[in-house]
Structure formats: structure tokens, C-alpha cells
Structure 1
Amino acid sequence: MITEFRARSRPWQIRLALGGAVAVALVVLEALNAPYPAVVLATVVSGTLCLLSLVVPERHFVRYTLLATAVSCALTLVETVLARRPENTPGMMELCVLLWLITRAVRRCSPLMATVLPAAPAFAAVVLPLRIAERGDNLNSAIGIIVASVPFMVVLGLCLRLYDALRAREREAILQTQRLEHARELHDFVAHHVTAIVAQTKAARFTAAAGHSQSPEDLDQMLAHIERAGSQALGSMRAMVSSLRDTSAPAATSPTGGLTGLRDLTRDFSAVGPSAELNLDPRLTDRPLPPEITTAVHRVVQESLTNVRKHAAGAGRVEVRVALRPGAPEELEVSVADDGRVGAEAGGGAWNGGGYGLVGLTERIERAGGRLTAGPGDDGGWHVLALLPLA
């Protein structure tokens, strides 16, 4: 309880401290109406235990509630047999807290305990008016009002329980969305560069295993490509970590400079793989596009080239085309096609459950309002086509 209090902000700590002090003061003032010092002390103890039950952590709630209601019922039983009793109040602060304990029990406890536990504070609240000296219609009316209040407090607890469940479900949905987004970002940013490192390393090992000697210049160039891909992977990871650590100023994880960055992407791919040719519609060169559209285009091209490197056996040429769709000037068409062999070990394997590339791309494209298709091309090889609305 102290730890939770310290975890609150300073204004909340002040409010809670003032509220607790006022509640305890009201308990003491009402207890002074009792005719005997021992009863005054017992009333203060009973009211204070009820207040503690209302604010204790969840793990202590059941124990404190049972103890507080037992003390309250015992005090009520003792006062009913005393010759002198309080004249005007049985302890209204304690009564209010007992009713709130019903609500908290219904809201916070497990289903079984939420069904059983509220009976204890409800009974203690109903018999509480028996502490006062007055008997008659007023006492019966007070008990009737308390009895009528118990179902209201139960319904209130159920409403708050439902509200908590909806909030928990909403938080889980937000966390799931964040997890999916992080998975897509990790795949899009890191897998592409790591795949390039693996492909270049395999090429170097294949060349060495075949007995071909490499000049120092060729070896240095190959190592430079590996170093650059590794540096890009590290940079992507740093951007991802920066985005996770500081939500107020997230890292720039989206491509910048419009679609011109596609030229660097295809050039880097061609340096260590099949020749990649980029056909970029001139109308898109200087046209401002929404960030989510440029990001989606980059991811489609990047993921498609990565899968060509990994799965398109015998591919010698890749055509990347980004243009306005004929007959639909407000729709962008992104096409990546290779001339490799389609089969279990070729381009088709990339899209048949071997990874999460298609899943992530489909989610990203649909999120931008578009659609994605992937399959064998008309002239062989593998063809990825994405249609994105520019509006």
C-alpha cells in the first residue's frame, strides 16, 4: 500500500492524504457520540478497519474485508445489549464504506469470491442502524433504505467490472497492434540487410570452394558490400530501439525523399545479385505522396527483392515498375517481376508459408487502403503486384 502510494504523482498523494485524514476525522467525530469510552475506541477501530479495507492492495482485500465486517458486526451486537447507546448516529462514515466494500468486492474479486464476499459487508451495513438508541419507524426506514442500496452497489460494481474488462481488452488490442507493427518493422528493416549479408557470404564461400582465386580488389569490394549491409542493419536496429525507447520523439523509420530512394535500393541489389531495372513513372518523381504510401512502396520493393535473392533460382533479371495505373490516375501500381524458376525451391516458396513477408506486406498494403497479389508470372518467374490509392 505504501509502495502504491509512493508511485502516485505528488498531487494525487496530497489528495489521497487529505481524503484519508478527513475520513478518519469523521470516524472519530461520530465515535464520540458513544456513551462509553470503550465503545468510542471500538467504533474508531471498526471504522478505521473499514477504511483500510477500501484502500488495501488486492492481495489483502479479502482478509481485511472479512476482518472489518466481523469487527463491525461484533460491535453492533455489543451495542444492542448496552443500556445506553448513541442517540443520533450509528456511524454513517462506516456505513458508506461498508457499501463501497460491496462495490469493490464485485468489481475486483474473482467471479466466485465476487459472488460470496459482498454478503459480509452487506450484512454489516444492514444491521449497523441497530447501534442507535431509537427504535420504531425511523429505524425501520433506515434499514429499508440500506437494504435497497445493496443491489445498487452490486450493479455499480458489475458496471465497473465490465468497464475494466473493456479497458483491458482495448489495451491488449493496442499492444497486439504494436507487436505486429514491430514485427513488420523488424522484418522489413533488418531481414533485408541480413539476407544481403548471407547471400554475399555464400557467394564468397562458393567462389573459394570452387578454387577460384580472387584478386584483393574483388575481395575488398565483396567485404565492403558485407560491411555496408551490416552497418545498414545496425542503423535500422538503432532506429527501432530509439522508437521504442522514446515515444515522444519516435525515430524516423519511414523512407524519406519520396520514391527516389528506390534507385539506391535497386542499385545495391544489382551489385550483389541479378540485375534489377527500375522503371519509375516520371509523373511520380516530383509529386508529393503521403508518407504511408511511400513507405508501403519501399517495403513492397524491398521485400520482393529480398525474396528474389533468397528463393528465385536462376533469376538473371528483375523488373521493378512503379507507375500510375492506366485508366486510374489516382491509383499507384507497384510491380516486381523476376525471370527465375518457380517451384518449391524458387520464388513460390517465399510466399507459401516459409516466412512472414507476405503477411506483413499484406497488412501494410491493406492498412494503406490497397491490395496485394503474388504468384507465378505470365512469362515465368514470380510476380508481386501492389495497388495503392493515392487519395
Structure 2
Amino acid sequence: MDFGRPRGRWAARRRPRRRGALPAQGGSAVNGFDALFARAGDALVAVGRSSDDPEGFARTLLGTLAEPGDGVMGRAIAHVGAVATAQTLLGRPDPAALAAILPPEAAAAPKTVADALERWMPRLDPDAYLRSLAQATRVGARLLLPDDRHWPVGVDDLGVHVPIALWVRGRTSAVAPMTPSIALVGARAATGYGEHMAIEAAAGLVDRGFTIVSGGAYGIDGMAHRSALRSDGDTVAFLAGGIDRFYPLGHEDLLTRIVQTGAVLSEVPCGSAPTKWRFLQRNRLIAAASGATVVIEAGRRSGSLNTANHAAELGRPVGAVPGPVTSPASAGCHRLLRESDAVCVVDADQMAELAGGAGGFGAVALFDDPTEAAPRARGVHPDTVRVLDALSSRAPRTLDDVARRAGVEPRRVMAVLGALEAEGRVARHPSGWVARRLAG
């Protein structure tokens, strides 16, 4: 894939600074770090890390605490390194101790610091962390870190929202800076026209030496992956949940085939569920890891528009395939062509030309914030999405349990639940909260 080493203004972001233990933390946090590191040692070796390198341990641990794209965690790691960040958090710090490892502009926002601790500390469970590592070893997962030669350096353009680490099943070299790449995305409920265009596009791009990147979903994603495999090409799938359990279940065979010749990746640890929020965050990786993004077919509210928006924000070229003007399944593509800098592409030649011009188009986003694009477009706040993801329609869950699952601070969860209860979307029971199924 075309993930060459960064140049220009991105080069300075390539590697977080590594530092040792923070003197202010005293012995308990460091001892806790060393003790848990020792317990995790064999599992870390099994996923491809050295037994005497604490970086892999620190990053895998931090990945269990923060939701994908957490900017506060990203700032801490960029400022003092993953090891010092993990040492601090294992000491269960107060807000002042966390502020000490953040850059001045972040430390100067006390509510931001306090909210981050409320999100992360309920998830600090050493036994759950070790179970996740054990599951990774069982499925043969490998761990990629930013210093590794096979790290897809295009994701570094995400700045403080860069993945803490990546879990991989398959060939880690499939995401190395070796061949050009292009993301083909689109609707799950694809039409025959959309599937035909995805098949033709993927086959033609593979013939031109491109690796096909997508999300492993039904519809356009699946057709693009299958066509690349049938053409003996490389294809890479980014998942929203842990790579120990392929999702969707109906694509287990397809994803297994991708593992044999390409790679399946995720930034969340094994055992993580593929929630709506994580799908939206996964889309930023598809966009960042590709030289260009092409939306093959998409409805007006398709999640693939979120991927296109991420690509535009990153300065990556965006293409859209036009469809019949009477087809709702192409309304999203037409929206991209009308409202953004997306380029009309109709075949593999034009898509390859688009990817070859990476960086030549303006970064004009379809929405205000690519992290929140799709939910914002429907008038839904991201915290609401995450709280609804964390609820069950059958088993009541306590406030603390919902907060831990959602990665949202408890007082914010309480406010969201109150609003949802007023709308009739959740119900309060003596033992907790449940989601309500709405008619229609």
C-alpha cells in the first residue's frame, strides 16, 4: 500500500516522544506497571512483541481504556509517551496528576481532564486486559505499533486521533508502505448496479497494482473485497470490533479468505463489540490508510459519506460514482458531487488517476467534524450514539455499567439517559436502564 514515510509537515508527528517513568508518580504506579507487564509478558511475545519492550504493553493497555480517537489520550501519549502515560493511569491519578502529563493547552482545561479520568478509570481492569491478550494469542493476532516498519503511516495524519496500536490478522506486510492503495466504500443495501460497479472497479484497480481497502461490510465493501481476491490482488479490511470475532457473521468466510492473502485490522482490542460509534471511528482509518477514497454507491445518509468526509479533512482525494438520478441508492454520491470537492469517476482508469493525484485536492469537508459527521447529519449527538450503543433492550444496565461500556463520564451519561427517557427511547427499571424499541 502507498504508505510511504511521511514528509513535510507530517514528518514531525511521526513518532511520539518516549520518556521513562515520571518522577512525580512515586513507586506505586511504576510497581503496578512492572507487575502487570510481567503478567502480560508471554502473551505479548505471542502477538509479536519483545518480552523486554514495555511500549507494546503500554499501548495495548491504553487501548483498553480509551475509545478510538480519544484526543485526550492521544495528547498524553504524544506529550510524554505511552509508557509514562500507562504508569500514570495505573496509579489511578487525580486530575492534577493527569494534567501533569498533558501538554499545557490540554492541562489548562480542568473539566476536560476530569472527564477523561471518569471515562477511563472504570475500564482499568487488569484481569479483563489479560483476557483480551489471551484471546488475541488464540486467534493468531499480531500487534502493530507506530515504530514498526509495517505500520500504515498514512494513519499518522490523524494527529492526536491516531490509533494507539493496531491489531492484525493476516500479513502485516499487506499494510506496509509497498503498493498504492485506494478505499472503495458504499452502501450495505447495494443495488445490482452498485455491486457491478464495485466488482469492475476493484478488478481494474488490482490490475493496475492497487491494494483495495474497505470495511468488510455487506454490500459494496464485500463486493470490492471479493473482486480483489478473485483477481489475485491484495485487499485489506478494517473492522469496528475486535478481530477475534469477525463481523458481520455472514462475512466470516470472506474475512477468513482476506486473512490468508491480505490483512484484517482493528484498533480496538480483542473482545470489543462493533458498536455504531466504533464504526464511525473505523471509517477514519479506512480514509487515512488509503491514497484516495471512492464512494461507489450510497444513500443520502450512508455511513460511507462519513468515510468520504474523513478523507476530505485529511486532504485525500475523494471520488464518487454517479448513478441513476431516480435511484435513492445513489443520492449520497450525488450529494458528494454537488456539495463537496468529490470528483466524478466512472471506471478504474479514472479512480487510479484520482489516487495518483493524492494531495492535489482541497480538504473541504461535507460536515463540520469528520469524527461526528454521520450522527451530526441526523441531529444526534455523539454521546447519545455511544450511550445507546451501551444499552440492551433486554437486560437492565446500571449507570456505571453504561458509562464503562460507552466510554462516557457517568454524569454525562445521566444527562443523556434523562433526555432519552423523555423521548421514550429508554426506560428506567429498579435494576437499571434498558433501550426501548420504537415502533416503525
Whether TM exceeds 0.5 here: the answer is no
More helix by share: 1
Q: Normalising by the residue count of structure 2, what TM-score does the alignment of the two structures yield?
A: 0.17
Q: Normalising by the residue count of structure 1, what TM-score does the alignment of the two structures yield?
A: 0.19
